[in-house]
Chains A and B, each alone.
Chain A
Amino acid sequence: MLAAGVVMLVVTNVCYLGIAEFLRRSVDAVNKGNRDVVPSTVTLLIVFAIATAVTRIVSRVWIFNAARAAEYDLRSELFGHLMKLSPAYYRDHPTGDVMSRLTNDVQTVRAMWGAGLVHLANAVTAFATVLTYMIYLDPAVALLAIVPYPLIFFVGQALSKRIYRTTREVQAELGSLSARIQEDLGAIQVIKTYGLEDVRRAGFLEGSKRLLDKNMEAAKVRMQLGPILNTLAPLAVALLILFGGRAVINKEIEVGAFTAFSASLARLVWPTLTLGFMLALVQRGRASWARLVQLHDTKSDLVEGTGEPLPARSDPATLEVKQLTIKIGDRALLEDVSFTLRPGSITAIVGRTGGGKSTLVDAMCRMIEVPAGTIFIDGRDVTTIPLPSLRAQLGYAPQEAFLFSTTIADNVAMGYGGGTAIPAARRAELERVGAAAAAPDLSNEPRVTDAAKAAGLARDLVVMPEGLATVVGERGITLSGGQRQRVALARALSAQPRLLVLDDSLSSVDAETERLILASLRKVMTGRTAVLISHRVAAIKDADQILVLDQGKIVERGTHDELIDADGLYSELYRTQLDTEMDIVQEAS
């Protein structure tokens, strides 16, 4: 379609020559008094004008649509790639930066393909055809008249470099002003309680003023381009008056040819003017393209397992960890960790902050790469299992529960691969403009309601405006930390997982609610292998085994009573339990 569009553009420019030619003949006819040929030449003039218009429409539609189609492919490909990159990648790369590639850079590349290509192809064919035609009319006048054009090209190029530079300076200034706004908005409570409004305002004023100045500097360069090019292009007309006029007087060319020259030169002005703009487009497009290629070439550090997927079954899983060591640089996050989760058992992992609990959980869920031959599920090395198959066995409820801006029911249903993650507010807008069908309501789906009940959500749902159909997040209601954790727990349960991992997932839940949840969880955990990470003794006391992690090593293991008797780190942690609870004080907002 792109190639066809470009061919069409060439046809357009050839058709345009027809306009110029019949304009010449018409004017000559008028000049010489050949009135009878005027209607036919004028008709042909109009026919060519319409043909030019039609082919131009077709070429633009084809090229721009092709660019949009390519943009679609690019986005889709990139998004798929981003979904594959491991969480570790996102720890090192701010989401804002990745988003900007997916939005701004993709658009810049599309502009290069669409507008850039149209202008480039148009400029090249316009120059080629018009020049040929003018030489056909009169070589001498043609060559003299186009003298300013090379000049236009070089000036345009020189200026476009300056435009590029000043534009980047504006971007940098805008960036630092944004950083300032972000700093202020992030510190709003301090600004208010310390009465810093005036001081911060003064700083903002200064930044805004600097942006204004940079903008004016850039505008000055940009504003030079138009007038300079606009001065140079009509110079061709001045030359035409001088030499073309003389040629008419000397009867070397007709008045019609003079008019055709004039129209042809006018024709070249626009492609020339857009040349600078186009160069900037291509320049920016190439820079964006390079960034996209770089992103696309980033490999995920999680290697997809190439073995058979695990067979579907519903019995509790067995998990073995054998001499697992994970290092970042020289620092061992986990060292020589070995243990077994027997099917249907409950294992608690405790330890101080930074002791390696999170790393261990990440390793068990294969959120970070683990050495081959260290973790086995049902006897299979996890590195050989395809990731989706592995994760289908797991239900994971994190401490920092992430919910999508959709209904609670959708969020819960995601556990078993249901629900939609399209933000509900956006979906409603799409529905309003007729671009999407209404999302199915999952709030009566048994898998969702059962999971919600088991996670202790029932009490919360009663006070919510629409129960399970209540939208959370963007333009929905904001849940408390405890409520979010419970929804995430329900999500993990809805998967009916063979291995359930609760990663400190009840830390923001008050003790009473926790007791209720734990009571119902015990029911849910039967028939599953479960791993609990918690600070609260109530939650871990009854576990079949307790692993105590410290500085990446398992320093103690056993049941609650055994460990209390051992009087080691666990018993110390147990005794300071209330203290720990005090320690994880979260600001109430």
Chain B
Amino acid sequence: MAVASPPRPTRKSGLEAEQVLGKAYDVRLIGRLSKYIKPHTQLLAGWVVFMLVTIGFELAQPYLVMYALQHHIMTGKASALPVDALVFVGLVVGQNLSSFVEQWLLQLAGQRTMHGLRIAIFDHVLAMRAAFFDRIPVGRLMTRMTNDIESLNEMFAQGAITLIADAVKAVVIIVIMLRIDVQLSLMTFATLPLLFFLVEYARRAMRKSFRQIRVRLAAMNAFAQEHLFGIRVLHLLGRGKIAQQEYDEINAGHRDAYLLQIRADAAMYALVDAIAYIAIGLIIWWASGHRAQDIATVAIVVGFIGYTEKFFVPIRDLSAKYAIMQGAMAASERIFQLLDTEEFDGGVYASTTKVDEPATANKAAPAVELAGVHFSYGAEPVLRGVDLRVPRGATIAVVGATGSGKSTIIKLLTRLYERERGAIKIDNVDIRDIALDELRERVTVVSQDVILFAGTLADNIALGKPYDRARLDEAVKRVGLDRALVRRRADVTAKVSERGSNFSAGERQLVAFARALLRDPEILVLDEATAHVDPEAEELIERGVQELMKGRTTLVIAHRLSTIRNADLIVVVDKGQVIEQGTHDELVAKGGLYAALEKTFRRQD
């Protein structure tokens, strides 16, 4: 990676600022999420129905206990008890069956939403231009599609959505209590302000704490990761002790950042319980002072105790849910920042007008033409006014030293990067006026670093296009891949492992040739590999190259003398400029840079 991306000292896009300090609720984010939830409205509607049924079954239970106490137990009707117990069991079973369906619907809606969101991120990322990938590390993009999606999903499983159910339940409990006894209810609700302050304290403490934890955890992990990557340097610098000190400093900060959160969490959990019992105490005290001492009072008190407990339990777990929500909101913020990045491939020059037919284009014009092309990676100029003409059907060889800008020409030609100045034309049509997919269909690049995908060899040659087995076999044969495969006793059904690691550099080259041949492109761009291969493979590759270039407009970044000598024109690039061009004999006679280079090529051959 010798690329310097543009320096961005002042403005930092949100995507680069990994750190997001999310709120637990962000209306804007939830609004944006709803777009992805919407397709699953039916599931959510089903969830609401079952949620209400579950609550109904659950809240009938304390009522039944109250009823049994008042009408059977305290009045001595032992015969009714088995029925009471059975009804109770029925309520419990009903509640849980319904709850299972409720959870299932919610999970399904959540998982499908996440699936949709994952696809949306994938599509978006794939549509970004090449420079985007120079800047944003692969690991970060992966985190968006995996971990962040997972923490967003937690919101469905245990967070916001279940909060809705809790709220509905709380309202129903309040209504039931009010219907049973208004005064006792108000007694219970007298504790609510206390509860409100407690929740508010815990919320603030947690928010503050999470902010601290996030920053410190991220710092600690970034520090560790970099130190593991740079372990060699650290050893050589003898920096072990200093590294340990710096790490421990951040580590201690991370540990201490939890102090507040632990305190708030414990207070919330324990005090909500205490407040519930204070409410129960108040109920009993009020009932004893203001009510007739009768069976009904006792039953009501017991019933109230049941409801009060059910009312307080979800509040007690609020702090855990708060943590989940915070995580989910931070995750969705990061996801939307990625989705908001508008560095599309083709970008501002996205073409709307398609060239009708290559046939109508000017046949006399060169197939490929570069005029005064400038380009730089960041502040580093790479091309400084390159002129190049590739006549139809001709082979042009570009030679030059490391870093002369040869490979960059290819990237501009396929619009992986956009030229800064100058013109690039194909058949006299500016490549910016050709639709990207069409451009890349017409220009096929065989790069020196051949990437194979996991799958079969045939898949890797066909690359997703439906293919005729006979044509594929022919391509394999023509580039000599069949002979290489015989050497390893395999055929095109051979399995390719991740990144093609089970194939040698030479074999991968031949696969790339077969790929290109099958595509039968109008213009071939070949970046010859410099990898050292054994002589037998070398011979196969040389023949493969010849076969591939036969009768095709070819631009080749050449490293082999045979390729260069067979070219119709040789272009010598140095420091981002074309300094010589001509045929082999002309350039040798001229005695310039090519002549010097040529000597070394010859020795190598």
Contact = CB atoms under 8 A, between A and B. Distances in A.
B88 interface: yes
Contacts of B112: 212
B349 to A, nearest CB: 15
B123 interface: yes
Given A223-B107, A231-B93, A189 B447 contact: yes
Interface in A439-493: 463-466, 470, 474-475, 477-483, 491
Contacts of B499: 183, 186
B313 to A, nearest CB: 8
A483 B216 CA distance: 31
A95 B306 CA distance: 54
A178 to B, nearest CB: 5
A586 B402 contact: yes
A344 interface: no
A246 to B, nearest CB: 6
Contacts of B119: 201, 204-205, 208
Given A90-B231, A258-B73, A433-B212, A582 B107 contact: no
B12 A582 contact: no
A365 interface: yes
A194 B479 CA distance: 19
Nearest to B244: A80
A83 B244 contact: yes
Nearest to A423: B222
B45 interface: no
Interface in B91-112: 92-93, 95-97, 99-100, 103-104, 107-108, 111-112
Interface string B254-274: 110111001101110111011
A38 B85 CA distance: 31
Given A194-B444, A226-B99, A421-B223, A245 B242 contact: no
Nearest to B218: A426
A27 B305 CA distance: 11
Given A46-B277, A216-B107, A237-B88, A99 B225 contact: yes
B445 A82 contact: no
B280 A45 contact: yes
A367 B239 contact: no
A414 B239 contact: yes
Contacts of B416: 189, 192-193
A215 interface: yes
B109 to A, nearest CB: 11
Interface string B178-195: 000000000000000000
Nearest to A50: B274
Interface stretch (B282-290, B386-394, B583-591): B282-290
B233 interface: yes
A588 B223 contact: no
Given A61-B263, A185-B125, A581 B224 contact: no
Given A35-B288, A226-B103, A230-B99, A388 B238 contact: yes
A394 B235 CA distance: 11
Nearest to A463: B379
A581 B519 CA distance: 33
A402 B19 CA distance: 24
A199 interface: yes
A83 B228 CA distance: 8
Contact of B65 (A194, A237, A578): A237
A183 B498 contact: yes
A427 interface: yes
B366 interface: no
B247 interface: yes
Interface in B125-151: 125-127, 130, 133-135, 138, 141-142, 145-146, 150
A586 B2 contact: yes
A362 B1 CA distance: 24
Most B CB within 10 A of own CB, among A19, A50, A64, A587: A587
Interface string B1-26: 11111011100100011010000000
A306 interface: no
B503 interface: no
A84 B19 CA distance: 30
B451 interface: yes
B253 A478 contact: no
A391 B235 contact: yes
Given A60-B265, A417-B242, A422-B246, 15 more contacts: A23-B280, A30-B284, A60-B266, A181-B146, A189-B130, A198-B464, A204-B119, A241-B88, A391-B235, A405-B226, A477-B5, A480-B380, A483-B4, A510-B403, A510-B575
Q: Which 3 A-B pairs have the closest CB atoms?
A: A199-B464, A49-B277, A53-B274
29 contacts: A35-B293, A42-B281, A45-B280, A50-B274, A56-B266, A56-B269, A57-B263, A60-B265, A61-B262, A76-B248, A174-B150, A178-B142, A231-B93, A241-B73, A250-B78, A353-B532, A387-B238, A388-B240, A391-B237, A422-B223, A477-B7, A478-B134, A479-B4, A481-B2, A510-B403, A582-B401, A588-B406, A588-B407, A589-B134
